[in-house]
Structure 1
Amino acid sequence: MPSPISDPSEDWDPLAPENHSDPRAVYSRLRDECPVAWSDRFEGFYALTRFKDVTEAALDWHTFTSAQKTPIPDATTPDRPPRAPAEVDPPFHTAYRDLLNRFFTPEYIRRIEPVIRRTARDLIGRCVSLGETDAVASFTFFMPIQVQCIFLGISVEDAERIKTTINRIIDAGAAGDTATHKAANDEIYEYIYGVLKARKKAPHDPNDVISAMIYEEVDGKRLTDDDIVGTIRLFLQAGHGTTTNMLGSIIRHLATTPDAQKRLRAEPKLIPQAIEEMLRVWTPVRLVGRKTTRDVEIEGRVVPKGSRVGLMVSAANLDDRKFENADQVDFDRKPNPHIAFGFGPHRCVGASLAREQLRIAVEELLSMTDDFELTGEPEWSTWTHLGPAKLPVRFIPRSLDLTGTVIRAGYNEMVMNIAAVRPVADLTNEIELRTREGAELPEWTAGAHVDLVLPGDIVRSYSLVNGPSDRSHWRIAVLREENGRGGSAMIHRLKVGDKVRVRWPRTNFALEDAESYHFFASGIGITPILPMIEAAQQRGIPWRLDYVGRSKSRLAYLDLLERYGQTRVHFTSEKGRPDLDSVISTTDERAAIYACGSQGFLIGLEEAANRAGRDLHAEWFAPKPGARQGAAGSHEAFTVHLERSNLDVSVQPGQSIIDACAEVGVTIPGACFEGTCSSCITNVLEGVPDHRDSFLSKKEQESNTLMAACVSKSMTDRLVVDW
């Protein structure tokens, strides 16, 4: 064996511009001319670029160890312990994988497919509604980390914070910014230790991966907190960064190769095979790190003991010694033994979850669009990922299906005409909907809303602003929100004569009988309140309204409401938000209080009502901050007994009660899946729910007799519900 070179000269620079976007030419040169290439970056490492060398090294864990903090660059800072199973070797690695493997079986992951699909549709829906957007910022950035949170039973509300912190770690590592790297690592570790502390308050559940790591043994002993936190830390970084980049690469490829996109639309069964090929060509992780335990000769070059070695899986997957026409994307390639998820004992444990996300995302993207295309040049991720960091795309929504009155997914739908479009305030348009035949519309009550099914099968809910006295038409009012989910932008593009599918009204915010009413509204929150005022007027029931907004021009229907002496208007631009405690204190004790508006307004009003000991009926446009956070000691996995059906149903982390019940053929109505609309309200007969909704009052939650089956979990290992 030749002697190793003590001070090798640099063969390549992984951070050079030519490696950034499309490194295929660089990889080809290295494989042909310097298959074991030295780089001075990240304290120096050797890069193996040929398929044969990478796979042989991946199998030889005795020589190429993962157990000595081998990521390139270091992912966690030197003071942190290794993150199992990726940063440990057999036999501990094997035993650890045995514990984790059952959570990555197709059957386990299939149970959370409905929530993965809803996540994809919601995010893609925003892209389609906006028309032109950065697909990374609007879609690929969010989907994988939300799925990771769902899988681990972590609140999705924390997803953006986790993702942003992890990205700071990756960027700081690539830039050599040790201070930021350490600060961001400290932040994410503190968060994960908090998750672990909360989960320890619940008893062991073998269906919960975090619970299993807490209570089960690996290689004859219990895992330490550091072991468990390291694994969660690994999942949160490795499990979403790669998928984000791969999703971006798939969208970019299909947007720039129209024939490939058309083929997948025509042959959807080809999607999994096509994804495997795109994984090969656009492998999202460039390398996996190892360290040599002895001097080893590879391709005539001696790599000294103790050297850091990068197994360049992205370069190996493009090796024409292994793959014919390796640089070309060929959806018909068979066999396709790519190593995008690694090779050997350290092959990615989460590969099945990643594949499921990619498949669902592509299926939904193709089903919700007629086409998508790039509108500008992408920007690229930093080392060690490969994929777009910015991807400007125009999404063409799926053509509207105008098939008349139908029933889809349990909803009555009809095609309606846009009969009128009227501005009723700055950025707010009123849309009048009529049937094509001028037929009488289904009955509805004050507080009802309708769902508009927009092009791309994007569903958005809007309150009816007119009462049921005239059933010839429906009216909705929509505020255009620049930072919303995109539906309002699409609605504001509608014009008279356009057609839209509309689902029949549902009332989740009903006006109950009372001796009098006190209504509160802020901004566009006036929409469900208007028909309630009309109903109170018609019944001769006393009412009053406090209407809050920034300025006169921003308050819809103000001219109508100011005709009533019971209306008090508060302009926040002049005097700030009114003292809600003071306003509540003047409310008639017999009055029922109804409110709708912005999140901040409703939070303040709810707090004031609680201090006054008053019940508040509120409709929330979005979940309350923190509402979906699990309580200390809550169960992410538990059993639900369906009393009427006489069935026991297992609910696993990330799975809603609704989805778990659907597995056994029991349908619980659901719409929002975020705990805001109340359509899934469920009677609880035994057990204590962990309430994560935003519509039950504090008193109703404390009674533990009702729960939102779409988001809530359990404080006990068993719930009995009336289904």
Structure 2
Amino acid sequence: MTTFTTPSACPFADPERLFADLEAARQSDDPPQPETFGGARVFTDYDDIVAALHDPETFSSQPTVGTIPSPWREQFEGRVPSRGTLLGIDNPDHDRLRSSVNTFFMPRRLARSEPWIREEAHRLVDGFAEQGEADLKTAFALPLPLRVISRIVGIDPERAEWVGAALGFFMGPRDIYHPGTPDQKAAKLLDLHDHLRELMERRRINRRDDLISHIWDQRDSGAVDLTDFEMLSMFPGLMLAGHETSSNLICVALSHFLADPDLHARVQRDDASRAQALEEIFRFESAITGMKRLVTRDTHLGGVPLREGDEVFLAYAAGSRDPSRFAHPERIDVERTWESPHLGFGQGVHACLGAPLARLLLRVELGVLHERLPDLRLAVPVQELRHTVVSEGRGLVSLPLAWTPTTAPRRSSPVSTDTATPESVPVVVSGRREVVPSVVELTLTADGGGLPAWRPGAHIDLELPGGLVRQYSLTGDPSEHEYRVAVLREDAGRGGSRAVHDGVAVGDRLRIRGPRNHFAPQPAPFSLFLAGGIGITPLLPMAAEAASAGIPWRLLYLGRSRETMAYADELQERYGANVYLWPSGERGRYDLDDVWMRLPAGGRVYACGPEELLLAIEDSARRAGRSDSVVVERFAPRAVSSLPDRPFDVELRRTGTTVRVAAGESTLDAVNRAGANVLSTCREGTCGTCEVRVLAGIPEHRDSVLGLEERLAGDTMMTCVSRCVGEKLVLDL
């Protein structure tokens, strides 16, 4: 190790020497504690940074966001949340709040935004294409992300400049693009929060395709519990990070690409080459220098002793250039693969929520600029470009560009402005009966028009009074022009069953969504229907279909007592010996291993019931080597297994390669070791970046991104955390 030296008067004082200073710190026995990062000890090695990011209990994110000073703190009380961004919030609140937005920012779902993002980009270029030169920062890189993130949240994009000026309050002296005193910006910030409150009230009833509506959907479904004020706190921080980092990234990327015309030509071949090159820029010079963390207990990091109360600065920019992880880290290599993921968006629970949006936005920006501005080039020597002051963020002050002036018409296509969510179907409660004590059956008929057709195994979303939305299996006859659902009263539940039992009567008008079906029976020589309690409901029409078709089947119905087992008498009267009742209060616990001794070869088991039963039948099937014979229906996310990870195989369908995923190894690392090159960000199942299509096999979902429907379908998985229920998965790689 060498002693830290730098020609600068103070380490990290010169933004043009940032990477030289970081490298010097890496090689130093005694790294500096620069004033730039508040005296925090700087960590530059990749493995140390990753270890800290995945240990948020020891390395708190509390110092990431400073407190609002007086007199504005008093002015904002009760109107502007003091911790208005997820970056500075620790668990348990962090995961609860982030779960309300995770699913909205998945790459697959954001793809629907690409047409209108492209249209917004073209409109901005229309304003300066004829000039032949412009500062891209102010003409394009700042306004476009602001318009995009405003629309994403639910604010009219035409108010984007006002939004940017309001958010400029949080940036302090770094905001050189929006004029005004701190008091003037504080007033705009208060107005912005009031506007967001108004939008929240509108979207409470009138949902659209925006983030505010999405969080209401999550709250109404019972998937997340948060207050209105907590919900308000989600938006300003996301908007600030979403536009500032994106504007910096596109300028930094173009500064490097345009400095090398051959590189620029390679980058701009197509969308795939643009996406690949951007990933290397995120590594080489991201918009994030790093983040501070507070040490919560005595510990060591990279062999360095740390005391409770110490602050550390995790230099993501240095970690992404660690030569122990990246070959020739000082070079831009647009063909680089990602066995070691870069740290451009961080990692862990605080990995950048908007990373998928940034990837999409920057790819679109590069494509539009390439299409619209012929002979695009730097208007000044690259050496004259200046970076913003050294801080947690990094960007260029300006990016002067030149091109051949053009009036060529842009290629555009109409973009729908209808962002309303699909409407649900109105129904009338035409019947209600008590099947057994604590189980009520509702009959629903169309309130005008008809009801969609369905197959056994289907379920609907029922919109209940008070805004709750719950999923219930259809339990009637698909040939009838009505739906039937049965609801077990669960006083300790989330309120949906109580709303049905206490608040729904014959004649009430409700709304439904669906039906959807991830539980439809497939052809098999024999089917065993395994029900636990109210899990009998989807199996009723499945048994009726099998009986009508003459397919061999049996129903094993488990319950606590005969009196509480809904439809038990009707089933035995109709099907006789095909129905086997097992009330555990009389007969004890059923041995599920017995299922596999009796199930014929090729037979399938369809199970629905409490999570304890579903986990038990899955574990029993695994022990018997019959995991592929079980199909389960869940109405809550599968519990994360507490068992040790088991090895399994993954077939990469496109290459025909099969790789072994070892116990303790992630699917992501295994497939990338085989050359799959799957991108990732958080590596904790919270961002959706590493999602891959599942072609065969049953994934064991351990993420917090996929919704219930997607988990039940099993068509995709998050490779960073999720594994395999059986012995093998086939992935679309």
Q: 1:206 Cα shift?
A: 8.2
CA RMSD of aligned residues (A): 3.8
CA distance in 1, matches of 2:291, 2:419: 33
Partner of 1:566: none
Paired amino acid for 1:71? V
Paired amino acid for 2:330? D
Q: 1:308 Cα shift?
A: 2.8
Report whether the alignment pairs 1:369 with 2:373. Answer: yes
- CA 1:265 to 1:132, structure 2 compared with 1: closer, same or farther past 3 Å? same
CA distance in 1, matches of 2:376, 2:69: 35
Asked if structure 2 preserves the Cα contact closer than 8 Å seen for 1:285 and 1:385, the reply is: yes
Partner of 2:198: 197
Partner of 1:390: 398
C-alpha deviations, 1:109-141, integer Å up to 9, x for none?
111111100111222333432101111111101
For residue 99 of structure 1, give the secondary structure of its aligned residue in structure 2: coil
Residue of 369, 381, 387 corresponding to 2:388: 381
For residue 195 of structure 1, give the secondary structure of its aligned residue in structure 2: helix
Q: 1:264 Cα shift?
A: 2.4
Report whether the alignment pairs 1:343 with 2:337. Answer: no
Partner of 2:322: 319
- CA 1:73 to 1:286, structure 2 compared with 1: closer, same or farther past 3 Å? farther
Paired amino acid for 1:351? A
Residue of 412, 420, 425 corresponding to 1:637: 420
C-alpha deviations, 1:181-225, integer Å up to 9, x for none?
676356324412322223313435485421343564499874234
Partner of 1:160: 161
Report whether the alignment pairs 1:209 with 2:224. Answer: no
For residue 321 of structure 1, give the secondary structure of its aligned residue in structure 2: coil
For residue 112 of structure 1, give the secondary structure of its aligned residue in structure 2: helix
Partner of 1:285: 288
C-alpha deviations, 1:69-110, integer Å up to 9, x for none?
433797998775323532223333223332212211233211
- CA 1:88 to 1:72, structure 2 compared with 1: closer, same or farther past 3 Å? closer
- CA 1:181 to 1:54, structure 2 compared with 1: closer, same or farther past 3 Å? farther
Q: Mapping of 1:296-695 within 5 angstroms?
A: 296-335=299-338, 337-376=341-380, 377-382=384-389, 383-396=391-404, 454-455=407-408, 457-458=409-410, 637-639=420-422
CA distance in 1, matches of 2:276, 2:9: 30
C-alpha deviations, 1:313-342, integer Å up to 9, x for none?
112111212111111100011125101111
CA distance in 2, matches of 1:12, 1:236: 38
C-alpha deviations, 1:237-256, integer Å up to 9, x for none?
11111100001011111221
CA distance in 2, matches of 1:72, 1:38: 19
For residue 302 of structure 1, give the secondary structure of its aligned residue in structure 2: strand
Q: Mapping of 1:259-274 within 5 angstroms?
A: 259-266=262-269, 268-274=271-277
C-alpha deviations, 1:485-517, integer Å up to 9, x for none?
xxxxxxxxxxxxxxxxxx9xxxxxxxxxxxxxx
- CA 1:105 to 1:22, structure 2 compared with 1: closer, same or farther past 3 Å? same
CA distance in 2, matches of 1:45, 1:189: 32
Q: 1:174 Cα shift?
A: 9.4
Asked if structure 2 preserves the Cα contact closer than 8 Å seen for 1:248 and 1:391, the reply is: yes
Partner of 1:146: 147
CA distance in 2, matches of 1:295, 1:137: 46
Residue of 218, 238, 242 corresponding to 1:239: 242
- CA 1:332 to 1:353, structure 2 compared with 1: closer, same or farther past 3 Å? same
CA distance in 2, matches of 1:13, 1:213: 48
C-alpha deviations, 1:669-691, integer Å up to 9, x for none?
xxxxxxxxxxxxxxxxxxxxxxx
Q: 1:370 Cα shift?
A: 3.1
CA distance in 2, matches of 1:174, 1:303: 34
For residue 28 of structure 1, give the secondary structure of its aligned residue in structure 2: helix
Q: Unaligned stretches of 5+ in structure 1?
A: 1-8, 399-453, 461-502, 504-629, 649-723
Paired amino acid for 2:385? P
For residue 343 of structure 2, give the secondary structure of its aligned residue in structure 1: coil
Asked if structure 2 preserves the Cα contact closer than 8 Å seen for 1:11 and 1:37, the reply is: no
Report whether the alignment pairs 1:49 with 2:53. Answer: no
Structure having the larger proportion of residues in strand = 1
Partner of 1:523: none
- CA 1:302 to 1:65, structure 2 compared with 1: closer, same or farther past 3 Å? same
CA distance in 1, matches of 2:241, 2:100: 19
Asked if structure 2 preserves the Cα contact closer than 8 Å seen for 1:51 and 1:316, the reply is: yes
Partner of 2:667: none
- CA 1:16 to 1:392, structure 2 compared with 1: closer, same or farther past 3 Å? farther
Paired amino acid for 1:143? L
For residue 21 of structure 1, give the secondary structure of its aligned residue in structure 2: helix
Partner of 1:86: 87
- CA 1:208 to 1:132, structure 2 compared with 1: closer, same or farther past 3 Å? closer
C-alpha deviations, 1:472-495, integer Å up to 9, x for none?
xxxxxxxxxxxxxxxxxxxxxxxx
- CA 1:49 to 1:73, structure 2 compared with 1: closer, same or farther past 3 Å? farther
- CA 1:354 to 1:13, structure 2 compared with 1: closer, same or farther past 3 Å? farther
Q: 1:637 Cα shift?
A: 3.2
Paired amino acid for 1:70? T
Asked if structure 2 preserves the Cα contact closer than 8 Å seen for 1:280 and 1:314, the reply is: yes
CA distance in 2, matches of 1:25, 1:75: 34
CA distance in 2, matches of 1:216, 1:313: 32
For residue 38 of structure 1, give the secondary structure of its aligned residue in structure 2: coil
CA distance in 1, matches of 2:237, 2:364: 23
- CA 1:19 to 1:250, structure 2 compared with 1: closer, same or farther past 3 Å? same
Paired amino acid for 1:21? E
Percent of counterpart pairs with the same letter? 24
Task: Output the TM-score relative to the length of structure 1.
Answer: 0.50
Count how many residue pairs are aligned between Structure 1 and Structure 2. Answer: 404
- CA 1:146 to 1:102, structure 2 compared with 1: closer, same or farther past 3 Å? same
Asked if structure 1 preserves the Cα contact closer than 8 Å seen for 2:245 and 2:393, the reply is: yes
For residue 404 of structure 2, give the secondary structure of its aligned residue in structure 1: strand
C-alpha deviations, 1:619-650, integer Å up to 9, x for none?
xxxxxxxxxxx9xxxx9634479xxxx999xx
For residue 332 of structure 1, give the secondary structure of its aligned residue in structure 2: coil
CA distance in 2, matches of 1:364, 1:197: 35
Q: 1:54 Cα shift?
A: 0.9
Q: 1:300 Cα shift?
A: 4.5
C-alpha deviations, 1:275-304, integer Å up to 9, x for none?
000111111011123211013333454333
CA distance in 1, matches of 2:96, 2:208: 16
Q: 1:142 Cα shift?
A: 0.8
CA distance in 2, matches of 1:78, 1:294: 30
Asked if structure 2 preserves the Cα contact closer than 8 Å seen for 1:291 and 1:306, the reply is: yes
CA distance in 2, matches of 1:78, 1:327: 43
Q: Unaligned stretches of 5+ in structure 2?
A: 75-80, 425-449, 453-733
Residue of 28, 33, 38 corresponding to 2:33: 38
Q: Which is worse superposed, 216-225 or 56-65?
A: 216-225
Asked if structure 2 preserves the Cα contact closer than 8 Å seen for 1:70 and 1:308, the reply is: no
- CA 1:276 to 1:189, structure 2 compared with 1: closer, same or farther past 3 Å? farther
- CA 1:14 to 1:115, structure 2 compared with 1: closer, same or farther past 3 Å? farther
CA distance in 2, matches of 1:78, 1:308: 24
Paired amino acid for 1:172? P
Paired amino acid for 2:333? D
Q: Which is worse superposed, 14-23 or 270-279?
A: 14-23
Q: 1:59 Cα shift?
A: 0.4
Asked if structure 1 preserves the Cα contact closer than 8 Å seen for 2:345 and 2:351, the reply is: yes
